[in-house]
Structure 1
Amino acid sequence: MNDQGLGSWPRRRARMTPYKAALVQDGRRMSYRQLDLTSTRLAHGLRARGVGPGDRVAFLGLNSIELVTAMFATASLGAVFVPLNTRLAAPELRYVLDNSEPATVICEDTLATSDVAAMLDEIGVSTYIFSRNAGDGLRALEADDESPLDDSVGHDDLFMIQYTSGTSGRPKGVQLTHGNVIWNVMNLMVDVDLGSEEVALVTAPLFHTAALNQVLFPTILKGGTALLEARFDPDRALDLIESEGVTLLFGVTSMYLALSDAQRFGGADLTTLRSALSGGAPIPEALLRVWLDRGLMIVQGYGLTEASPGSTMLRAADGIRKLGSAGTACFFTDVRVVDGAGDPVTGEPGEVQVSGPNVTPGYWRDPATTDRAFSDSWLHTGDLATVDEEGYLRIVGRLKDMYISGGENVYPAEVESALYEHPDVIEAAVIGIPDPTWGEVGRAFVVAAPGSSLDQDGLIAHLDGRLARYKLPKSVVFLDDLPHNASGKLMKSQLREVNP
């Protein structure tokens, strides 16, 4: 084939296992042959609308078969897929669309609110509205042409622009090439023994790099089946694990917490699960042990959108020995931890830097930010970690989240981990706030278990003796829930606006 990119994957898989179920959603099953033919018809349809190599195709919709077919169709044309965060407000979407300048926007009808519709009309971009529940998918957008496409698409060609979650400032468009994603999949395949009979539950949003590049693409490469869920629901997820024989699960901390808190978790049949992956933020050891008690080691890794995302992995064999670690560098990726002078350090916190074929070539239309993000071939992640003598990373926070109290560095992740050791703490986050005496002190935000009598004094007393005194939060704010973005990441910037 001339097409060496991701758009060729449905055809490559269809010639091997044409009648195997590729995608399943709400009782609808699409085989690999159907995935190939549908994405081919859609590619012809997009080409008829003027989409060509390098053009952007934006998609605003929940996890769906339509999202996957639109992505493969776009890729087969050498065009660039732009998955949009479904939780963005119209002005935020406007910024992303103005920045990416798509040739076409494909939008799910439930998300085409009056504000979004008015914004799309104002921009004047060609828009196609579809219904995920109508049963005909994107049929009206497809052409009646199933002749194979085989355009020349290489690993260096741009596959996708994924916009960062915007936890601070404007979102940045991370450019990912076909090669970036393919090398990322290779990294994951080295570390996780996926098979052709894999049944992957995809509940995290596919506009997020982890669900797409760590779950969907590896499953399709191996010829497994991806169960697509529009939204995460812990009880339904447990039902699907049992009824569909799910073997591969991915989630962020809040998702694993919701599953373990579900009333039927203790009696749920999890025997088919072979792999449980996590990313986005470190999982507290207390939660890891809850899943260990059910016989499942959650395999944690460290990554970021700019690395497609996988950078390190804690292999299952080391899961207990290095519990809470993010593991060591993936096979095709190099990772180092450096001090402020750029020198590698061991045993003390430093910035994580990443290099490898899975790392972005830079940010869309933002050369200045790209230049600041790289030193030689090393990407500056802005994340803080310690690395032990065996090379295992332990993420301790973000550079911007670290605060200095009385001249001492405090890393919120360390304090949060100690908070999670209290049995009544469901979720916790720590930030630094100004203090006239110490410069900054910690403030903890905590979600307590229902019916708990936990109070500030009791929680700080729990930490006393577990942490140095300067690390103890000086105040605790109890909330019903903590703010998260659509990919499950905690939004600490919003906590700074809470007025206790």
Structure 2
Amino acid sequence: MNIGDWIRKWSQLSPQKVAVIDDGHEFSYKELNQRSNQVANFFLQKGIHKGDRVGVLLYNCHEYIEIYFALAKVGAILVPLNWRMAPPELSHILNDCGATSLFFGEDFLDTALYIRDNVEEVKDYISLGQEDILWAENYQKIQTYPSTEPTGFKEPDSEDPHIILYTSGTTGFPKGAVLSNRKTFFNALNANIFYGLTSLDIFLVSRPLFHSGGLLVDSTPALYKGATVIYKRRFSPQEYLETIEKYNVTIIETSATFLNFMLKECNVSQYNLRLLKSCYTGGERVSTTMLKEYHKIGMPLSQIFGMTETSIVTWLSTDDAVRKIGSVGKPVLHGEVKILNHDMQQVNPGEIGEIMVKGPILMSGYWNEPEITREVMSNGWFYTGDLATIDDEGFIYIVDRQKDMFISGGENVYPAEVEKILLTNPQILDVAVYGVPDEKWGEVGKASIILQDNTGMSAPEVMEFLHGKIGKFKIPKYVEFVDKLPRTATGKIQKYLLIQKFKKEIASKGI
């Protein structure tokens, strides 16, 4: 199984079909395949073969996709690097995976210099930019290599690693999830089903390609189907909507945070979005208010659920998005999902259990972490750590992360349940609820809240809003209003930092 064959075949079937639009520049499937071949032949000349790891530190661009498919063609492993991370974090990743080559953009020259001084195994540096660098090869020179299909190498098979994608590390150092060719293929099949992809579709990709969303959930399925993907280095909400209108975009998948910004900063209804058939979001909570607002203006917003280790696990059809508000849908076709209680028995409707996932969409394991892999994988099942319920129709509802749950006075409290209710208040833009130490109850809740602009709300008003909607023991004892919440580079709220902050404040007061 060679993922690189996809663009080779599309270059034969539809050579002039536009594969990528990068900041207004169009590249056909024929051009994409030829340019990927040049990079693949460069790899072979450099001695980069099956199993070798190659880091990529770039903003979203057509070159990223060329490198992606070139690595797939020769069986080498892509290691996407999160440009929001600090140089020491990126150096840790490159040292951990043993990368021997690094592609980097001109904006990341200082980071590349740091890596050069701190990562011994990286020998080959390839820069993307106009300036020549003495210790790096220029990507433009790669385009002098033969554009014919690479030959003379050992073909990758379905179980060979294709990507090592490092998790965002909400509780410690990132871990490298090893993703095989087989996983990438079945993820593409699943996504084609829930997006309803055809070769005529135009997919606007706003998530970064270092993210499983941008690379595996959005770009890869679209290019597997022979559709068109659109990239830009960064989008403002206005530019995003203008791009949808200009290119007659049919599919989008983006973060709930960005969707909130669009409603806040733009009159979304004034744009011509009539060709949008699929609008999905995942990875963050979606407020009831926001979802209903988008449906009101004609954007069929719905939810997907997954993680780096599993790709997409469940999806909610746009037809069910409002009827089953708060649900993440039902399991994808290629993959099994169970919700098990502490006794490893499947839960009844309404009961809480942990989501378990099995099937070809799973990672092979964590790179260099056999013990941690064994902790989360057993008999082919992956323990997600996400707690959920299921209703009588088979729709799944995420309750919380198992690690986020805290116990107050002997009662389990699931912060996501409290957050979900708070987000129904139109004055609240975002919120994080978490457990903090309490002398009387062991732990109590604290809520850090971001308010909508031009709104005012007090802590007693927050508590009053929750009164009668949830048990008293679930209502946060503490409420604070903040301008922003600490997040990982992929947007996940770092609750442990909020807990640390609370503990420091208590310690400073001598309590």
| Fold match (TM-score > 0.5) | yes
Task: Measure the CA separation in 2 of the matches of 1:35 and 1:155.
Answer: 23
* Residue number in structure 2 paired with 1:51: 48
Task: Measure the CA separation in 2 of the matches of 1:251 and 1:489.
Answer: 14
Task: Measure the CA separation in 2 of the matches of 1:45 and 1:11.
Answer: 17
* Residue number in structure 2 paired with 1:145: 146
* Residue number in structure 2 paired with 1:336: 338
* Residue number in structure 2 paired with 1:350: 353
Q: Cα deviation per residue 1:224-278 (whole Å; 9 max; x = unaligned)?
A: 1111122242121011111111111111221111122123324222212111111
* Residue number in structure 1 paired with 2:217: 214
Pairing 1:443–2:446 present = yes
Amino acid at match of 1:325: S
Equivalent of residue 434 in structure 1, options 429, 433, 437? 437
Greater shift in the superposed pair: 136-145 or 374-383: 136-145
* Residue number in structure 1 paired with 2:87: 90
Native 8 Å contact 1:253 1:283 kept in 2: yes
Task: Measure the CA separation in 2 of the matches of 1:389 and 1:264.
Answer: 38
SS of 1:189 mapped into structure 2: helix
Q: Cα deviation per residue 1:396-442 (whole Å; 9 max; x = unaligned)?
A: 11111011111111111111111111111111111111111111111
* Residue number in structure 2 paired with 1:394: 397
Amino acid at match of 2:128: S
Alpha-carbon shift at residue 142 of structure 1 (Å): 4.1
Shift of the 415–19 alpha-carbon distance from structure 1 to 2, 3 Å rule, reads same
Amino acid at match of 2:45: A
Native 8 Å contact 1:443 1:473 kept in 2: yes
Task: Measure the CA separation in 1 of the matches of 2:192 and 2:166.
Answer: 25
Equivalent of residue 311 in structure 1, options 313, 322, 329? 313
* Pairing of 1:121-160 with structure 2 (within 5 A): 121-124=117-120, 125-131=122-128, 138-149=139-150, 152-160=155-163
Task: Measure the CA separation in 2 of the matches of 1:42 and 1:119.
Answer: 22
Task: Measure the CA separation in 2 of the matches of 1:359 and 1:10.
Answer: 24
Amino acid at match of 1:24: I
* Residue number in structure 1 paired with 2:296: 293
Alpha-carbon shift at residue 469 of structure 1 (Å): 1.1
* Large movers: runs of 4+ above 4 Å: none
Alpha-carbon shift at residue 388 of structure 1 (Å): 1.6
Shift of the 191–345 alpha-carbon distance from structure 1 to 2, 3 Å rule, reads same
Alpha-carbon shift at residue 132 of structure 1 (Å): 5.5
Greater shift in the superposed pair: 177-186 or 279-288: 279-288
Equivalent of residue 491 in structure 2, options 455, 463, 488? 488
* Residues paired across the two proteins, number: 494
Alpha-carbon shift at residue 211 of structure 1 (Å): 1.7
Greater shift in the superposed pair: 249-258 or 142-151: 142-151
* Pairing of 1:84-483 with structure 2 (within 5 A): 84-113=81-110, 116-124=112-120, 125-131=122-128, 138-149=139-150, 152-307=155-310, 309-346=311-348, 347-483=350-486
How does the TM-score come out when normalised to structure 1?
A: 0.95
Shift of the 433–97 alpha-carbon distance from structure 1 to 2, 3 Å rule, reads same
Task: Measure the CA separation in 2 of the matches of 1:229 and 1:476.
Answer: 39
Amino acid at match of 1:146: S
Greater shift in the superposed pair: 119-128 or 55-64: 119-128
Task: Measure the CA separation in 2 of the matches of 1:472 and 1:290.
Answer: 27
Please, what is the CA RMSD of the aligned residues?
A: 1.7
Pairing 1:5–2:12 present = no
Q: Cα deviation per residue 1:196-218 (whole Å; 9 max; x = unaligned)?
A: 12111111111111221111111
Gaps of 5+ in 1: none
Task: Measure the CA separation in 2 of the matches of 1:17 and 1:65.
Answer: 18
SS of 2:382 mapped into structure 1: strand
Pairing 1:31–2:28 present = yes
Equivalent of residue 79 in structure 1, options 52, 67, 76? 76
Q: Cα deviation per residue 1:127-178 (whole Å; 9 max; x = unaligned)?
A: 43433688x9822234521221265222111100000001111111100001
Greater shift in the superposed pair: 263-272 or 74-83: 263-272
Task: Measure the CA separation in 2 of the matches of 1:199 and 1:484.
Answer: 30
* Residue number in structure 1 paired with 2:509: none
SS of 2:462 mapped into structure 1: helix
Task: Measure the CA separation in 2 of the matches of 1:163 and 1:173.
Answer: 4
Alpha-carbon shift at residue 495 of structure 1 (Å): 2.2
Alpha-carbon shift at residue 464 of structure 1 (Å): 1.0
* Residue number in structure 1 paired with 2:17: 20
SS of 2:94 mapped into structure 1: helix
Native 8 Å contact 1:43 1:142 kept in 2: no
Amino acid at match of 2:57: L
Alpha-carbon shift at residue 494 of structure 1 (Å): 2.6
SS of 1:219 mapped into structure 2: helix
Task: Measure the CA separation in 1 of the matches of 2:461 and 2:395.
Answer: 34
Q: Cα deviation per residue 1:95-123 (whole Å; 9 max; x = unaligned)?
A: 1011011121111110222x541332332
SS of 2:96 mapped into structure 1: helix
Shift of the 466–450 alpha-carbon distance from structure 1 to 2, 3 Å rule, reads same
Task: Measure the CA separation in 2 of the matches of 1:18 and 1:494.
Answer: 51
Native 8 Å contact 2:195 2:251 kept in 1: no
Amino acid at match of 1:467: I
Amino acid at match of 1:120: R
Alpha-carbon shift at residue 384 of structure 1 (Å): 0.8
Alpha-carbon shift at residue 18 of structure 1 (Å): 0.7
* Residue number in structure 1 paired with 2:508: none
Gaps of 5+ in 2: 132-136, 506-511
Amino acid at match of 1:178: N
Shift of the 329–145 alpha-carbon distance from structure 1 to 2, 3 Å rule, reads same
Amino acid at match of 1:41: Q
Alpha-carbon shift at residue 43 of structure 1 (Å): 0.7
SS of 1:15 mapped into structure 2: helix
Native 8 Å contact 1:78 1:153 kept in 2: yes
Amino acid at match of 1:46: F
How does the TM-score come out when normalised to structure 2?
A: 0.93
Alpha-carbon shift at residue 387 of structure 1 (Å): 1.3
Alpha-carbon shift at residue 36 of structure 1 (Å): 0.3
Task: Measure the CA separation in 2 of the matches of 1:317 and 1:417.
Answer: 21
SS of 2:71 mapped into structure 1: helix
Task: Measure the CA separation in 2 of the matches of 1:386 and 1:378.
Answer: 18
Task: Measure the CA separation in 1 of the matches of 2:277 and 2:497.
Answer: 36
Task: Measure the CA separation in 2 of the matches of 1:7 and 1:159.
Answer: 11
